[in-house]
Amino acid sequence: MESEEIINNSYKDFGEKNSEKNNKISLKKIIIISSIITIIIASLTIFLILYFLDKEIIECETGSFLPEDDSEKCIKCSVNNCQKCHGTKNNNICTKCVQGYMLYNDSFCNVEHSIEAIYSTSENYQKISLIHFMYVDHIKNMYVDGYSIEPCNEYTFEESGLHSIYILFDNDLETMGEMFYGINNLIEINFTYIFDTSKITSFSFMFYSCRNLLSIQMPYFNTSNVEIMSGMFQLCSSLPSINLSNFDTQNVESMLTMFSGCSSLKELDLSNFNTKNLRSMSNMFENCYNLTSINLKNFDTKNVYNLNYLFHKCYSLASIDLSNFDISNVEYMEGMFEECININSLDLSNFVNKNDTKMNYMFYGCSELKYLDISGFTGDKNVSMFYGLPNKGKIIIKENFLELIKDQIPIDWEYVIKNENELFLE
């Protein structure tokens, strides 16, 4: 019995020791498994964090964004795809492409009166004007090279080169006159598709003397209430072209000097202009030295009183169709074609002026003009119109007017007399 009890006790001790050993092994396994799971979770967490951080970097990368269709491939910013805000894949923050910068700020989305522009500086720490000071109070937000700044009309750039500016205005603008007056550092400007100009009444001298401006984009302008466009692009001497096909000009009264000094313009199509209320076109295309083509075929000039120096020094203009012009109320036509040195033919047979219309120097310096029909003209003996014509040419004119100005026309010119009742019968 004692032996059996000893054996039983031995088995019992062995079992307890074995159980204790097994418990230790199980605990160790649990610890190991838990550690592995913890490592996996931590690794996955780090991976996800890095993944989404990387995604954010991709989305915020200069000059690119994720498009609306949820694709994961970044699209580079361009003029064509930066016209509106895009929702990103991972969040609902609105991305905005601003001349190579991504603005993650939904205050610029679905708003009116926003401008994107490029300015140039030639020196480090150069202070330049950005906008006329009188508009600063209307600025809600302003970004310079992607960084938010307090609204201002001048800014000092630490480095020379090109700089992007984004401006968001309030909704109280009623005029944009002189907005960028004399700002020579302005290179490009884009008025976004949500820029509301429906309340604007004046664009006078808006870009006056922006001598380095190369591009203006304003395809969505509502100009139906604009009354003044005087000097709007005057002295934009580097501007090579401009698209105004969307302009509604039915209420415009003055286009005085509108394109004067746009010496890089070569073509200008204004065939969409409604000018029924236009009063002044004085100096409108003066000093457009390189202008070779201009379309004014739909211009209604019956209310215009001033055509002074309209084409003065349009050196490259070889011909122009003004057959639709009604000058019955025009009082001033002085220097209208002065120094148009490439025009060789002018048919102004539809021009029937008032007797006291001022016409001095109207054709002065037209050194290539060899055919001129002014058969509807009348005037007085004090008018001085023709000095500087070539030695030979042909003029169609009324007899009574010829007697007044004959001594001004070169002696070898041919005269064709047109009687009063034949004026419009050709």
Handedness of CA 421, 423, 425, 426 (dihedral sign): positive
C-alpha 413 chain-centroid distance: 47
pLDDT at 25: 57
Range list of H helices, 250-362: none
Query: What is the Cα–Cα distance from 97 to 89, expressed in whole angstroms?
Result: 16
Section 152-163 average pLDDT: 94
Instruction: Name the average pLDDT for the chain.
Output: 81
C-alpha 90 chain-centroid distance: 34
**Per residue, what are the HEC states of 76-89?**
ECCCCCCCCCEECC
pLDDT at 219: 85
Query: What is the Cα–Cα distance from 262 to 284, expressed in whole angstroms?
Result: 10
Strand, coil or helix: 63: coil
Query: What is the Cα–Cα distance from 203 to 212, expressed in whole angstroms?
Result: 19
Q: Are 365 and 391 in contact (CB under 8 A)?
A: no
pTM value is 0.75
- Dihedral through CA 392, CA 395, CA 401, CA 403, nearest 10? 40
Q: What are phi and psi of 345, to 5 degrees?
A: -150, 135
Most confident listed range (29-33, 142-146, 147-151, 289-293):
289-293
**pLDDT digits over 184-214, tens only?**
999 999 887 668 899 999 999 999 999 999 9
Section 396-419 average pLDDT: 89
Handedness of CA 403, 405, 408, 409 (dihedral sign): negative
CA distances from 6 to 3, 19, 344, 347 (A): 5, 20, 137, 139
Q: Are 391 and 366 in contact (CB under 8 A)?
A: no
Query: What is the Cα–Cα distance from 322 to 353, expressed in whole angstroms?
Result: 14
Q: What are phi and psi of 405, to 5 degrees?
A: -120, 10
Residue with tokens 């204790």: 20
Section 120-146 average pLDDT: 92
Position 251 pLDDT exceeds 50: yes
pLDDT at 148: 86
Section 262-273 average pLDDT: 97
Query: What is the Cα–Cα distance from 353 to 397, expressed in whole angstroms?
Result: 13
CA distances from 342 to 198, 319, 361, 389 (A): 41, 8, 17, 12
Position 93 pLDDT exceeds 50: no
Contacts of 7 (CB under 8 A, 6+ apart): none
Query: Using 50, 70 and 90 to split pLDDT, how confident is the model at 26?
Result: low
Query: What is the Cα–Cα distance from 114 to 191, expressed in whole angstroms?
Result: 6
Domain ranges in the chain are 2-60
Section 82-101 average pLDDT: 36
